[in-house]
Amino acid sequence: MEEVQVSIFVESRYKVNRKRIRSLVNSLLKKQGVAGKADISIAIVGDRKMRELSLKYKGEDKTRNVLSFSQAEGEPVKNSSDTLFLGDVVVSYPEVIREASAEDVLVDEKIEQLIEHGIMHLLGINHE
């Protein structure tokens, strides 16, 4: 399988393991049968930014743990010979901290759970 291009944007004050995120994205897409060149963007942001996105795209003035923005708008992803643009997954770092603490899991594990959740939405696989 060709390497997936994973763009990771992190607001400067947050510490995340980029290598771990790239590895997660690659193994998850491989497990879901996504072959060939693919491009996905992961953003780790603060509550203020997440609240802005939630209001703009969901009409809700509240923060949330994860949002995903598909390039295919809800259609299951189709492979092509060109690069497949999956979309963007945005994670709120402060929400990760709160949830990881409440659930007694590591911050990296919580980030992975939310990124996985967001990617499944991008692939058209919703809550089962």
pLDDT of residue 81: 55
Task: Please give the chain's pLDDT, 128 residues, in tens.
Answer: 457 888 999 998 898 999 999 999 999 999 988 877 888 999 999 999 999 999 999 999 999 999 999 876 555 455 555 777 889 999 999 999 999 999 999 999 999 999 999 999 998 887 65
Is residue 127 assigned to a domain?
Answer: no
Tokens of 15: 């510490």
Is residue 104 assigned to a domain?
Answer: yes
DSSP secondary structure letter of residue 58: H
Domain containing 112 equals: 5-122
Overall number of domains in the chain: 1
| Residue 44 backbone dihedrals phi, psi, to 5 degrees | -110, 115
- CATH number for the domain including 85? 3.40.390.30
HSE-up of residue 10 (Cα within 13 Å, Cβ side): 13
